Amino acid sequence: MKHIFQKGTDPSLPTLVLLHGTGGTENDLLPLAQIIAPAASVLSVRGNVLENGMPRFFRRLAEGVFDEEDLLFRTKELNDFLDQAADEYGLDRHNMVAVGYSNGANIAGSLLFHHKDSLKGAVLHHPMVPRRGAELPDLTGTPVFIGAGRNDPICAPQETEELQHLLEGAGASVTVHWENRGHQLTGSEVQAAADWFSPYLVKQ
Ligand code: MLT
C-alpha cells in the first residue's frame, strides 16, 4: 500500500500507524504523530479505494453504510501490509498503535474487530461501529481512545457508546473523550489523545 515510513529515535515505543479520513492522504495525520509521540516510528498509509477520486480504506454503499465484503477484504489487506512493513522496516509487529480519523478510525476499529493481536492499542477519532454481529477476538488489556462529538452528524453519540460497549465486552480498556465540534478533528481532541497515550503505552 502507498505509505510513508519515518523511523523514530526511540525503537522501544510503539509504531504509530496513521490512517486518514475520506479524501485524505498519508500526509494528513503526520502532525498528530508529532504531538502524540514525537520519538516513535511512524507508518502512515493511504487507503487503496477511490470514491470519486477520494482515497478511502474500504468501499461504502452510502454515507454510513459500509460494503461489508470490501471492509473485510480491505481490513485483511491492511493487516497483511502491516506484517510486510514490520519485516521490511524491522519493526515489532506486536507493538503497533493505530491513530485513525473517520474512515481511517473505522478501518482501525475493523482491525480490532477482525484480527486478533493486529494492534497493541488504538486512537480512534470519530469512529463508527465498523460491523455489527461480529464476534470480537479477545481484546483484554488493549487500550483504546475514542474521540467523539456529541453533535457529530456522521456518528451519533449512541453509536459511539455502542462501539465502546462492544470493545469493552471483548476486554478492551476504552476511554471516550467528548467534544462539541461535530465530526471535526480538533486540536483539543488530539491533545487529549496525547495525554491518554503517555501513561498507557509510552512508559510501559
Ligand atoms: C466512513 O465512511 O468510513 C464514515 O462515514 C466516515 C467517513 O469517511 O465519512
- Tens digits of residue pLDDT in 72-86: 999 999 999 999 999
Of the candidates 138, 96, 140, which has an alpha carbon nearest to the alpha carbon of residue 118?
A: 96
Residues annotated catalytic, as ranges: 102, 152, 183
Distance CA 190, CA 170 (A): 25
CA distance 99 to 90: 20
Atom of ligand 1 nearest to the CA of 63: 5
Most informative mutation of 67, 128, 184 for ligand 1 (most atoms within 8 A of CB) = 128
* Nearest alpha carbon, ligand 1 atom 8: 103
Pocket lining: 60 vs ligand 1, CB cutoff 6 Å = yes
- In the structure, what pLDDT confidence band is assigned to residue 201 with cuts at 50, 70 and 90? low
SS3 168: helix
User: How far away, in angstroms, is 91 Cα from ligand 1 center?
Assistant: 29
* Identity at 39, one-letter amino acid code: A
Q: How far apart are CA 123 and CA 147, in angstroms?
A: 8
CB of 110 closer than 6 angstroms to any ligand 1 atom: no
How far, in Å, is the centroid of ligand 1 from the Cα of 32?
19
Percent of the chain with pLDDT over 90: 96
Query: How far apart, in whole angstroms, are the C-alpha atoms of residue 114 and residue 194?
Result: 26
* Mean pLDDT across the chain: 96
Is a pLDDT exceeding 70 seen at residue 202? no
Alpha carbon of residue 140 to chain centroid: 18
Render pLDDT for 25-79 as a digit per residue (tens, 0 to 9). 999 999 999 999 999 999 999 999 999 999 999 999 999 999 999 999 999 999 9
Query: Percentage of residues in the chain with pLDDT exceeding 70?
Result: 98
The stretch 141-167 carries a mean pLDDT of 97
- Of 50, 60, 58, which Cα lies nearest the Cα of 23? 50
Domains of the chain plus CATH, in order, are 3-202 (3.40.50.1820)
